């Protein structure tokens, strides 16, 4: 999708809030309406625009209730500086991309190596070379961010496949990270992941079925 059109689409606060909600779990129109505090008619119009842009899709459950979920994994970058303005949107990089071969990926860059343009004897060729090197680094970091985003999505998809599909994998990942630190009670987890105890209970039950976690005493730990 064109970056400018994507910026225009996301310029609406309610559409951004819808995407934040759908990033937690699939929702139907009434849920979204209650969350936003706006009419179902307005929600349907926002969803229509998001669907037309390919950002949101829908599916119908056994009770013929229509759920909406985020369909596309993409990255939008906006660069604003005294010397330029630009936007760029792109799909995450392929898993087959070998980022370990990139020269500057480790960020082992010494600022002392870059010439100071304010110095009287600054070499124009060195300045041009430094500019080219930094532009290359900027491009590689952008690609690395896309690669990381794609790998994170793959990992969350794996979690979703191993647990109940009705349980949000983002929430499951947050629970996993919390339990990696130490065992937690349901109440502690609810506070740590900013979710209701009831939702955390359902998530833990699904994760236990997938052998991710197990109950221990009055709390939970990693399996």
Q: Is pLDDT larger for residue 54 or for residue 43?
A: 43
CA distance 66 to 26: 10
Q: How confident is the model at residue 37 (pLDDT cuts 50, 70, 90)?
A: very high
What is the average per-residue pLDDT within 192-221?
A: 86
Q: Is pLDDT larger for residue 212 or for residue 73?
A: 212
Residue 123 above 90 pLDDT?
Answer: no
Q: Is 200 helix (H, G, I), strand (E, B) or coil?
A: helix
pLDDT value of residue 94: 66
Report pTM: 0.59
Between 42-46, 118-122, 143-147, the lowest mean confidence (pLDDT) is in 118-122
pLDDT value of residue 97: 67
Between 118-127, 133-142, 189-198, the lowest mean confidence (pLDDT) is in 118-127
**Residue given tokens 């990089």 in the structure block:** 93
Count H helices, E strands: the chain?
Answer: 8, 6
What is the average per-residue pLDDT within 22-43?
A: 91
What is the average per-residue pLDDT within 48-63?
A: 89
What phi, psi does 45 have (nearest 5°)?
-70, -40
pLDDT value of residue 107: 56
pLDDT, averaged across the chain: 81
Between 28-42, 67-81, 91-105, 146-160, the lowest mean confidence (pLDDT) is in 91-105
CA proximity to 27, closest of 73, 53, 61, 72: 61
């Amino acid at each position: 999708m064109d970056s400018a059109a994507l910026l225009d689409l996301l310029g609406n606060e309610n559409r951004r809030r819808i995407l934040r909600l759908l990033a937690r779990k699939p929702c139907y129109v009434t849920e979204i309406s209650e969350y936003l505090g706006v009419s179902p008619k307005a929600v349907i119009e926002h969803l229509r625009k998001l669907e037309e842009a390919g950002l949101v899709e829908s599916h119908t459950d056994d009770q013929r209730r229509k759920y909406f979920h985020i369909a596309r994994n993409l990255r939008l970058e906006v660069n604003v500086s005294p010397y330029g303005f630009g936007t760029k949107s792109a799909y995450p990089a392929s898993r087959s991309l070998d980022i370990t071969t990139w020269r500057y990926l480790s960020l082992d860059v010494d600022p002392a190596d870059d010439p100071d343009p304010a110095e009287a004897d600054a070499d124009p060729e060195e300045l041009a070379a430094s500019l080219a090197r930094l532009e290359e680094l900027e491009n590689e970091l952008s690609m690395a961010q896309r690669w990381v985003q794609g790998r994170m999505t793959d990992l969350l998809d794996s979690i979703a496949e191993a647990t109940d599909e009705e349980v949000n994998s983002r929430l499951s990942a947050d629970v996993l990270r919390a339990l990696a630190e130490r065992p937690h009670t349901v109440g502690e987890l609810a506070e740590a992941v900013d979710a209701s105890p009831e939702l955390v209970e359902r998530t833990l039950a699904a994760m236990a079925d997938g052998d991710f976690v197990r109950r221990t005493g009055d709390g939970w730990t990693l399996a």
